Amino acid sequence: MLRRSLFAAVPLLAAAQGGKPATPPLAEEIEAFGLRWQVIAASDWKADGDELHLITARPQQANPRRPIQFALAKTEPLASFTLEVEVKRSAPKGSLILVYAWQKDGYFNYVHLSDDAASRVEVHNGVFHCFGGDRVRISPLEGPGSLPTDDWHAVRMQYDASTGLVQAWVDGKTSPSLKAVDLSLGAGRIGLGSFFNTASFRRFRLMRG
C-alpha cells in the first residue's frame, strides 16, 4: 500500500511543480487502407472495409494545447505528396485533422477542417504548426467553414517540403484558410484524426511525389 501511494504521488508532485503531462505514446497499431498506422489505443478506432472510424475522442486540453488523437501512417518521411480522402465529421458540430510533416512527438503540422469559419473561431478551419509547444495558426483567417454538413466530403491535400507549401481543397473548393507555408519541418509522416471530436475517413489515396 505504501509503495502504491508513493508512486501515485509522483504525478501530483510533478503537476504541483509545473510539470507538463506526458503525451500518451503511439503504442499500438491498426491496419486501414493498405497501410499500418500507429495509434494511442487500437480500441479508439474501428476499421470497416474501406472506412476508418475514430470512435473515441482524446482532447489535449492544455500544457501543451495540441492534438494527440490521430493515426500516424507507418511510411517513410514524405517530402512531396497528394492525399485524397473522403471525411465525415461528428454531428451536430465537429471537426477533424489531417497531419503532415510529422517528425516526432509534438513536432508536426496539421490541416484542421471544421464547420466553423476561422473568422468566427480562429483556432478552427486552417493550417496549424506544432513545434514542441502549443499549436499555432499559420494560415489566414479568410474563408468559410470547410465542413458545413455532417455528410461525407471529398478532401484533397497537397504538400511540397521544398517550398513548405501545403494546400487543401474540400469538395473541389479551397480558401486562404486552407493554404500555408512552413519551412521548419520538411519531410515527415502523415496522419488522420481529430482534436476534440470523433470522425470518419474513407476512400483514402496517397500519391507520393
pLDDT in tens, 64-101: 999 999 999 999 999 999 999 999 999 999 999 999 99
Average pLDDT rounded to a whole number, residues 173-202: 98
The three cell numbers of residue 14 are: 510533478
**DSSP label at residue 178:** G
Identify the CA nearest to 40 among candidates 50, 61, 19, 54: 54
Query: What does the domain layout of the chain look like in residue ranges?
Result: 24-208
Q: Is 18 helix (H, G, I), strand (E, B) or coil?
A: coil
Q: What is the pLDDT of residue 19?
A: 55
Average pLDDT rounded to a whole number, residues 25-42: 98
Q: Which amino acid is at 199?
A: A
Domain 24-208: top CATH class: mainly beta
Does residue 166 have a pLDDT over 70? yes
Confidence of residue 169 (pLDDT cuts 50, 70, 90): very high
Distance CA(116)–CA(148), nearest Å, equals 8
What region does 40 belong to: left with phi over 0, alpha with psi -120 to 50, or beta?
Answer: alpha
> What Cα–Cα distance (Å) separates residue 54 from each residue in 14, 170, 182?
31, 20, 28
Give the list of residues 6+ apart from residue 145 with CB closer than 8 angstroms, or none. Answer: 114, 115, 116, 117, 120, 124, 125
Does residue 18 have a pLDDT over 90? no
Average pLDDT rounded to a whole number, residues 28-46: 98
Distance CA(140)–CA(197), nearest Å, equals 23
Q: What is the pLDDT of residue 16?
A: 35
pLDDT digits (tens, 9 = 90+) for 47-60: 999 999 999 999 98
Higher pLDDT, residue 111 or 10: 111
The three cell numbers of residue 166 are: 501545403
Q: What is the pLDDT of residue 21?
A: 62
Phi/psi at 27 (5° precision): -90, -10
Identify the CA nearest to 136 among candidates 156, 116, 150, 122: 122
Q: Which amino acid is at 44?
A: D
Output the average pLDDT for the chain: 91
Query: How wide is the angle at C-alpha 158 spanned by C-alphas 155 and 159, nearest 5°?
Result: 140
Count how many Cα atoms sit within 13 Å of the Cα of residue 2 in the half-sphere of its side chain.
Answer: 0
Distance CA(43)–CA(51), nearest Å, equals 15
